């Protein structure tokens, strides 16, 4: 049974380090220009001394000729120093601009690659975990106790089936409950009758029941996406379902429908909130799982005032297996990283993983 991986939050991402290098570059340029300003101040003093030397040379006549030569050399030295300082300033400015441009491109590329990779990791964990849920329901639908309860729903067979479902639930804590419904949609028995009073409820119109009834064999399964499930006291759940068939055979005649009520938030919210972003990134980041229509299924910011995630170019982004784009979202520049459900074995949710990170 796959459990969500609890990745430790990184103290600093590569993106953070590149941002730090850019800051160091700016600081070095400022320090260089401060040094050049000090050189310019020294140069001004040198020119004043040179001018005073020329004045003194004129005042004392022939005896001051050597002072004039020295003053001339000091002027030449001063001009050379000034020209060199200006060249250094121009080259430093150009180099700094080039370095900043390269760092910005590198930062963007690293951010895009890294966030898209994290998004893929999230949806891959979900696909792998839910693949096992589709296996669970098909395997448990062959349990003899359920076949007997479906064939002869009396107190003994239903009691035995309930105890069997309870035993399964004790081992598989990722489920709220397991329910067995007759072909007319009435819940016959569940695994946690003291907690959920679903026996007798009519589930004939639910997507999980209807999709299971339409399957052709026990190899197939039904499904209902994220919803507030009455079978789990209104908690958000997924329901996987499979027909219970005569003799427990996958090609037997349908007798009933088994529904397994999965704790969605225990998986999805754990994954999105434990995405390994750095401490500096989390305050400006949001991690989501959405369906193909953008309906939010899991969200690291559950208090956000929206049920559907909209942004410019969403359909184009969703059409790509993995990508990241820079867009303006809610009035701020953002990097939006995306990964589509890659699927695992025979299972694929068809959902999308997103990381939205503000750039300012």
Q: Please count the other Cβ atoms lying within 10 Å of the Cβ belonging to residue 338.
A: 25
pLDDT of residue 53 exceeding 50, the answer is yes
Tell me if residue 119 falls in helix, strand or coil: helix
For residue 75, CA distances in Å to 48, 82, 87, 237, 270 come to 10, 10, 18, 84, 73
Q: Cβ neighbours of residue 153 under 8 Å, at least 6 residues apart?
A: 182, 188, 189
Return the ∠ at Cα 75 (arms to 55 and 69), rounded to 5°: 60
CB 227 within 8 A of CB 206: no
Q: What is the mean pLDDT of residues 134-160?
A: 97
In the DSSP assignment, the letter for residue 8 is: P
Query: What pLDDT is attached to residue 222?
Result: 97
DSSP bridge partners of 289: 298, 353
CA dihedral 11, 15, 20, 25 (to 10 degrees): 170
Q: What is the mean pLDDT of residues 61-69?
A: 69
Q: How sure is the predictor about 7, in pLDDT bands with cuts at 50, 70 and 90? A: very low
Residue of 186, 136, 185 lying closest to 165 (CA atoms): 136
pLDDT of residue 14 exceeding 70, the answer is no
Query: What pLDDT is attached to residue 15?
Result: 65
Q: Which residue has the tokens 């690659």?
A: 113
Of 72 and 148, the one with more pLDDT:
148
Distance from C-alpha of 300 to C-alpha of 306, rounded to nearest angstrom: 13
Write down the mean pLDDT value for the chain: 88
Domains of the chain: 141-267 (3.30.450.20), 268-358 (3.30.450.20)
Residues in the chain: 360
CB 197 within 8 A of CB 189: no
Structure tokens at 25: 């570059």
CA 158 to chain centre: 44
Distance from C-alpha of 165 to C-alpha of 171, rounded to nearest angstrom: 10
Residue of 188, 212, 226 lying closest to 302 (CA atoms): 226
Structure tokens at 30: 């400022």
Q: Could you report the per-residue pLDDT of 232-274, keeping only the tens digit for each?
A: 999 999 999 999 999 999 999 999 999 999 999 999 999 999 9
Q: Is 149 left (phi over 0), alpha (psi -120 to 50) or beta?
A: alpha
Query: What pLDDT is attached to residue 2?
Result: 45
Report the DSSP pairing between strands 187-190 and 254-263. unpaired
């Amino acid at each position: 049974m796959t459990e969500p991986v609890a990745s430790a939050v990184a103290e600093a991402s590569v993106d953070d380090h590149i941002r730090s290098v850019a800051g160091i570059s700016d600081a070095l340029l400022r320090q260089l220009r401060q040094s050049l300003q000090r050189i310019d101040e020294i140069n001004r003093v040198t020119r004043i001394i040179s001018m005073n030397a020329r004045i003194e040379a004129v005042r004392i006549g022939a005896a001051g000729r050597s002072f004039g030569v020295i003053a001339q050399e000091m002027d030449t030295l001063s001009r050379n120093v000034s020209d060199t300082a200006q060249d250094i300033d121009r080259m430093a400015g150009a180099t700094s601009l080039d370095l900043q441009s390269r760092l910005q491109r590198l930062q963007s590329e690293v951010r895009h690659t890294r966030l898209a990779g994290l998004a893929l990791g999230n949806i891959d964990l979900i696909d792998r975990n839910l693949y096992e849920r589709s296996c669970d329901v098909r395997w448990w639908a062959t349990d003899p106790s359920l076949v007997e309860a479906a064939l002869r729903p009396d107190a003994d067979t239903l009691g035995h089936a309930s105890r069997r479902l309870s035993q399964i639930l004790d081992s598989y804590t990722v489920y709220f409950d397991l329910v067995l419904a007759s072909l007319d949609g009435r819940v016959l028995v569940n695994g946690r009758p003291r907690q959920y009073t679903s026996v007798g409820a009519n589930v004939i119109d639910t997507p999980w029941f209807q999709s299971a009834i339409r399957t052709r064999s026990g190899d197939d399964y039904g499904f209902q996406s994220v919803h507030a499930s009455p079978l789990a006291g209104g908690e958000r759940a997924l329901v996987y379902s499979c027909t219970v068939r005569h003799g427990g055979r996958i090609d037997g005649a349908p007798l009933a429908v088994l529904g397994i009520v999965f704790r969605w938030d225990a998986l999805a919210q754990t994954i999105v909130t434990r995405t390994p972003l750095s401490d500096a990134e989390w305050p400006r980041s949001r991690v989501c799982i959405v369906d193909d229509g953008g309906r939010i299924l899991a969200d690291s910011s559950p208090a956000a005032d929206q049920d559907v995630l909209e942004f410019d170019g969403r359909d184009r982004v969703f059409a790509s297996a993995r990508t990241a784009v820079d867009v303006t979202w809610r009035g701020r520049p953002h990097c939006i990283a995306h990964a589509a459900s890659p699927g695992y074995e025979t299972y694929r949710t068809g959902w999308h993983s997103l990381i939205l990170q503000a750039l300012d």
